[in-house]
């Protein structure tokens, strides 16, 4: 809607900027639309190319703080689910749910109105905001547009964007200092050919009900990718994919799910591993500028083209606090000739990560991932945390190994470690279910990741063919509840594994967790317990533990790791520095 009545501009190529968000409010998304007087931009060039045409907005808060962000070319749409469509779905690179108790039908995306420029911002202050829009064509300034709008105050206890916790460099925290512990899973793409992005309504609802707070999503070629189909740099044919991505981000906000958004995946630039280079529009055989996959990382002109895509994504999605991080690549180590070109690709990562940091007005984190636990790219200061991947836990004890591996990765790169993929089988979800029908390995990955020195719980794959069809979401519940109790902020971070004086009266029991000067968080576990031998585990009772700690009066609370419920809570007096 238009706020107020303003005389139309007499000069320039654009009409007045419209505030289309009803009742624009502090800490909420505010959308603004900029229409041409006569539509020329799209007919005379590529509006997704920021060197051809761009509009840069400077939005000044009442305090004088300025948010600088580009506009993005936008096609409005209406999105709906046609429940009258009853043909069964086909699985898109996964298993499609046909559960009649879930929403089923055909998701429809219908373009509405004419393309135009949009801004999306999240005002941090209430009051009168002013703006200056600067219009460039072929990198030459053409005109400026000035105006103002009002932002209503919010009563929200706003915590801000999530960053690396500066007090320990191991965890994440909101801008206000509150700890954020990720507990969730990969939901990399929708798998239903019919309801499509409505998959995320179902998954996110289940995740929210079980205290999950993180999802990892790819811009997959068969899903949300911008460079897919007919063009590598013009996304006019992808407005349906972008509409669905908007829809998913809105659902993430509704269900309070943070998102790691993987911007590229290895198969797009591989002829060997999950290869789709043959149909990649960047490929010169398809009219693109890249003779080989490595051209994407080497050629400076190609890199400048890709930066337009990054600007577009930042313009469209940086407003949301639900973005935990921009992940430059999924498993970069699988792209063609990676071993011989790792330094080149490291340079590419540094250039793109710094470009994002220079142009993201809300300062989200940046990361990448490799095909294993370590990567030369994680040594870059421009990447905020590491994302190890491992599927070698088929016959390995998760609790016994994950903390050691987290420590080894942290010692290499000195930044938070979040296992973004951890599993017992990389082939399919059915084999995971056969080996671990109750999700023991998933639960152990969550707790060992959260309590063993990591930034959060390890994230599973096979969301569509393991977690969802067998309704294993309850595995996350206890970890999700406990994660909300953790306060990792402040000095004195120490892992319980490193405290030599801890005593436990049973050799089969161990303890992982953290000691701070005024609090202890601990996870007690059976060292022999694993998904492959759980039937043989014998109950162990009457466990006594002593932990060196500061004398004083404390509250001891014991939680059920499955349900998250409190088993008991009692006062505890520490004397002689032993709890």
- Greatest alpha-carbon pair distance for the chain in Å reads 83
- Which residue ranges make up each domain of the chain? 18-76+113-151, 162-483, 494-574
Residue 558's nearest CA partner among 566, 549, 550 is 566
CB contact at 8 A, 107 and 206:
no
Architecture of domain 162-483: Alpha-Beta Barrel (3.20)
Q: How far apart are the first and last CA of the chain?
A: 61
Angle between helices 198-209 and 239-254 (to 10 degrees): 20
Token pair, residue 27, equals 């800490």
The burial class, CB within 10 Å (0-12 / 13-18 / 19+), for 501 is exposed
Residue 148's nearest CA partner among 321, 318, 24, 312 is 24
CB contact at 8 A, 94 and 191:
yes
Residues whose CB is less than 8 angstroms from the CB of residue 434 and which lie 6 or more positions away in sequence, other chains included = none
What's the pLDDT score for residue 3? 42
Cross-strand pairs, 334: none
Token pair, residue 572, equals 């505890």
CB contact at 8 A, 452 and 401:
no
CB contact at 8 A, 575 and 551:
yes
SS3 category, 556: strand
CA distance 69 to 91: 38
What's the pLDDT score for residue 1? 38
Residues whose CB is less than 8 angstroms from the CB of residue 90 and which lie 6 or more positions away in sequence, other chains included = 96, 193
Cross-strand pairs, 182: none
- pTM, 2 dp: 0.97
What's the pLDDT score for residue 197? 99
SS3 category, 413: helix
Identical fold for domains 18-76+113-151 and 162-483, yes or no, is no
Edge-first strand order for the sheet with 66-70 is 66-70, 53-60, 127-137, 140-151
The HSE-up count of residue 113 (CA atoms within 13 Å, CB side) is: 11
What's the pLDDT score for residue 577? 76
The burial class, CB within 10 Å (0-12 / 13-18 / 19+), for 162 is buried
The HSE-up count of residue 453 (CA atoms within 13 Å, CB side) is: 21
| CATH class for the domain made up of 18-76+113-151 | mainly beta
Residues whose CB is less than 8 angstroms from the CB of residue 183 and which lie 6 or more positions away in sequence, other chains included = 211, 212, 213, 214, 446, 450, 456, 457, 476, 479, 480, 483
Task: Tell me 463's DSSP state.
Answer: I
Count other Cβ atoms within 10 Å, centred on residue 374: 16
Q: What is the dihedral of CA 303, 309, 311, 314, to 10 degrees?
A: -130
* Strand residue runs (E) in 279-379: 323-327, 365-367
Token pair, residue 401, equals 């190994």
What's the pLDDT score for residue 578? 73
- Whose tokens are 């790792």? That residue is 342
SS3 category, 2: coil
What's the pLDDT score for residue 494? 97
Q: Along the 579 residues of the chain, how does pLDDT read in single tens digits?
A: 334 445 566 678 999 999 999 999 999 999 999 999 999 999 999 999 999 999 999 999 999 999 999 999 999 999 999 999 999 999 999 999 999 999 999 999 999 999 999 999 999 999 999 999 999 999 999 999 999 999 999 999 999 999 999 999 999 999 999 999 999 999 999 999 999 999 999 999 999 999 999 999 999 999 999 999 999 999 999 999 999 999 999 999 999 999 999 999 999 999 999 999 999 999 999 999 999 999 999 999 999 999 999 999 999 999 999 999 999 999 999 999 999 999 999 999 999 999 999 999 999 999 999 999 999 999 999 999 999 999 999 999 999 999 999 999 999 999 999 999 999 999 999 999 999 999 999 999 999 999 999 999 999 999 999 999 999 999 999 999 999 999 999 999 999 999 999 999 999 999 999 999 999 999 999 999 999 998 888 888 899 999 999 999 999 999 999 999 999 999 999 987 776
Helices (H), 436-544: 440-451, 477-483
CA distance 259 to 248: 10
For 303, the enclosing helix (H) or strand (E) is: helix 300-317
- List phi, psi (to 5°) of 89: -75, 160
Token pair, residue 404, equals 């050691």
What's the pLDDT score for residue 7? 57
Question: What is the 3-class SS of 235-249, one letter each residue?
Answer: CHHHHHHHHHHHHHH
Token pair, residue 13, equals 């190529």
Residue 192's nearest CA partner among 222, 227, 229, 226 is 222
Task: Tell me 229's DSSP state.
Answer: T
CA distances from 91 to 84, 271, 410, 435, 464 (A): 20, 23, 38, 23, 10
SS3 category, 289: coil
Pairing of strands 214-218, 258-262: parallel
CA distances from 217 to 180, 214, 269, 323 (A): 19, 10, 18, 10
Count other Cβ atoms within 10 Å, centred on residue 417: 29
CA distance 263 to 330: 8
What's the pLDDT score for residue 10? 64
CA distances from 256 to 28, 215, 321 (A): 14, 10, 10
CA distance 174 to 166: 11
């Amino acid at each position: 809607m238009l706020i107020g009545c303003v005389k139309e501009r007499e000069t320039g190529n654009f009409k007045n900027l419209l505030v289309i968000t009803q009742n624009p409010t502090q800490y909420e998304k505010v959308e603004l639309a900029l229409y041409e007087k006569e539509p020329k931009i799209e007919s005379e060039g590529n509006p997704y190319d920021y060197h051809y045409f761009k509009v840069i907005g400077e939005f000044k808060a009442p305090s004088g703080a300025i948010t600088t962000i580009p506009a993005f070319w936008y096609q409005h749409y209406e999105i709906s689910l046609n429940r009258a469509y009853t043909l069964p779905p086909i699985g898109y690179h996964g298993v499609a749910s046909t559960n009649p108790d879930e929403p089923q039908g055909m998701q429809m995306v219908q373009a509405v109105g004419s393309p135009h420029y949009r801004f999306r911002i999240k005002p941090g202050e209430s009051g009168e905001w002013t703006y200056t829009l600067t219009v460039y064509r072929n990198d030459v300034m053409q005109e400026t547009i000035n105006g103002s709008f009002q932002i209503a105050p919010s009563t929200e206890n706003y915590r801000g964007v999530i960053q690396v916790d500066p007090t320990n460099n191991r965890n994440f925290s909101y801008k206000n200092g509150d700890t954020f512990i990720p507990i969730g899973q990969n939901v990399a793409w929708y798998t239903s050919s019919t309801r499509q992005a409505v998959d995320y309504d179902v998954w996110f609802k289940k995740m929210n009900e079980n205290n999950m707070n993180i999802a990892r999503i790819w811009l997959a070629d068969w899903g949300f990718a911008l460079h897919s189909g007919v063009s590598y740099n013009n996304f006019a044919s992808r407005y349906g994919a972008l509409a669905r991505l908007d829809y998913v981000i809105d659902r993430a906000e509704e269900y309070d799910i943070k998102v790691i958004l993987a911007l590229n995946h290895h198969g797009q630039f591989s002829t060997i591993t999950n290869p789709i280079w043959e149909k990649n529009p960047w490929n010169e055989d398809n009219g693109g500028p890249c003779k080989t996959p490595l051209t994407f990382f080497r050629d400076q002109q190609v890199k400048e083209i890709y930066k337009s895509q990054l600007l577009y994504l930042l313009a469209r999605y940086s407003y949301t606090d639900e973005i935990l991080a921009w992940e430059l690549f999924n498993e970069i180590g699988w792209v063609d000739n990676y071993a011989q070109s790792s330094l080149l690709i490291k340079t590419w990562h540094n250039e793109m990560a710094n470009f994002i940091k220079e142009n993201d007005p809300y300062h989200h984190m940046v990361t990448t991932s490799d095909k294993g636990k370590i990567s030369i790219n994680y040594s870059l200061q421009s990447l905020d945390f590491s994302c190890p991947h491992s599927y070698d836990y088929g016959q390995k004890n998760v609790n016994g190994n994950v903390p050691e591996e987290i420590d080894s990765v942290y010692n290499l790169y000195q930044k938070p470690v979040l296992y973004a993929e951890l599993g017992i089988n990389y082939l399919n979800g059915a084999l995971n279910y056969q080996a671990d029908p109750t999700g023991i390995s998933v639960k152990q990955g969550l707790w060992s990741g959260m309590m063993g020195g990591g930034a959060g719980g390890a994230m599973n794959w096979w969301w569509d063919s393991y977690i969802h069809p067998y309704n294993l979401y309850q595995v996350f519940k206890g970890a999700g509840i406990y994660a909300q109790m953790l306060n990792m902020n402040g000095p004195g971070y120490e892992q319980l594994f490193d405290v030599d004086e801890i005593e436990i009266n049973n050799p089969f029991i161990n303890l992982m967790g953290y000691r701070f000067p005024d609090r202890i968080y601990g996870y007690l576990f059976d060292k022999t317990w694993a998904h492959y031998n759980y039937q043989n585990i014998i109950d162990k009772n009457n466990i006594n533990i002593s932990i060196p700690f500061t004398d004083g009066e404390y509250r001891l609370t014991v939680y059920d790791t499955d349900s998250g419920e409190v088993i008991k809570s009692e006062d505890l007096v520490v004397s002689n520095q032993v709890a």
